[in-house]
Structure 1
Amino acid sequence: MAIHKLDLGEFDEIDYSLIAIYTPLDDYRLAYFINQKFNVSLSKSKKEIQITGKEGEAHFSRFHYYEKKKEISWDLIQNKNEIIHKQKKENLNLFSDIDMEVSSKIYMLPEFKKVDYFLKIENGDDLNVLKIQNTLNTIDNITTMYIADTDKIKSKNNLIF
């Protein structure tokens, strides 16, 4: 009887580029500028990225474009979000029955807490990521950006959607 062995290393292979973007722009404005510069058509996806953490559940906005000819997928993803959860005071005093609303930040990729957005390009082997980075640099309100090292990301599962 023949023994078949599966190599799970093939599934762990990263087939996308990830560009970290720092900008004060809103997500829809950044998507508009990217659409202009790269002749793509990023549009707001109804499927937001949902992440549950110890603080609660957060939804991150996502703008998506799929280029059928080249089979390249573009995603502009929000990294920071603020959630509000109720916290009950446990002191036995005059204000013990008050529920406080506490706001806390949650990150899609906690390793990059200062990054505002990520541009994820899947199957873009034909594309020059450095050229994309230089073109992004021409957008006025982008403070800085860099190609994120995907080997250092511990929460890679958050990028599967």
Structure 2
Amino acid sequence: MAIHKLDFGEFDEIDYQLIAIHTSLEDYRLAYFINQKLFINLSKNENEILINIKEGETKFTRFYSFDVEKGISWNLIQNKNEVIQQKNNNSQNLFSNVTMEVATKVYLLSEFKKVDYFLKIENLDETKNLEAILTQLNTIDNLSTAYQIDINKIKAKNNLIF
């Protein structure tokens, strides 16, 4: 009888590229422009990314496209969001019965707080050049910059598993 061994190193393999995008565009407009430039079909995914923190939970929007011919999946993910908490004012003054809303900024990847969106590309083969993708992205109006992120510098890699 043969013995089969699993090598856990195979599961740690990073098989995606991550692009940081700085822009003031709304997510749906950015997805539209990316679709035009890269000839893909990003559409809003119902499965948003849920993150729980001590202040509450928040969802990050996600646009998804899958190229069946090449086996490449594209994810446009929001990096910044807010958790809104209701707090009661306990002091005895004119505004003692007022409920305040406190907003806390939450980041998908907290080490990249200035990044607005991430474009995660899985199974990118050698035929699609990452530099060409970056060049096309940087031609979008109202997009400040787009650049590749070194995946080894990401602390919260689990947030990118979906």
Q: TM-score w.r.t. structure 2 length? A: 0.91
Gaps of 5+ in 2: none
Instruction: Report the equivalent of 1:136.
Output: 137
Instruction: Report the equivalent of 1:27.
Output: 27
Instruction: Report the equivalent of 2:149.
Output: 148
Deviation at 1:70, TM superposition (A): 0.6
Instruction: Report the equivalent of 2:107.
Output: 107
What whole-Å deviation, never above 9, does each CA across 1:1-47 have from its counterpart, x for those lacking one? 98754321211111000000000000111111111111111111111
Partners in 2 of 1:26 and 1:131 — Cα distance? 24
What whole-Å deviation, never above 9, does each CA across 1:103-144 have from its counterpart, x for those lacking one? 111111111101000000000123211110011111111101
- Specify the code of the residue in structure 1 equivalent to 2:71: E
What whole-Å deviation, never above 9, does each CA across 1:49-86 have from its counterpart, x for those lacking one? 11111221111111100000111000111100122111
1:48 maps onto 2:51 in alignment? no
- Specify the code of the residue in structure 2 equivalent to 1:99: T
Instruction: Report the equivalent of 2:66.
Output: 66
Task: Report percent identity of matched pairs.
Answer: 62
Q: Is the deviation greater in 122-131 or in 73-82?
A: 122-131
Q: CA RMSD in A?
A: 1.8
Gaps of 5+ in 1: none
Q: TM-score w.r.t. structure 1 length? A: 0.91
Instruction: Report the equivalent of 2:125.
Output: 125
Partners in 2 of 1:89 and 1:3 — Cα distance? 65
- Specify the code of the residue in structure 2 equivalent to 1:26: E
Instruction: Report the equivalent of 1:88.
Output: 88
Partners in 2 of 1:87 and 1:75 — Cα distance? 35
SS in 1 for 2:105: strand
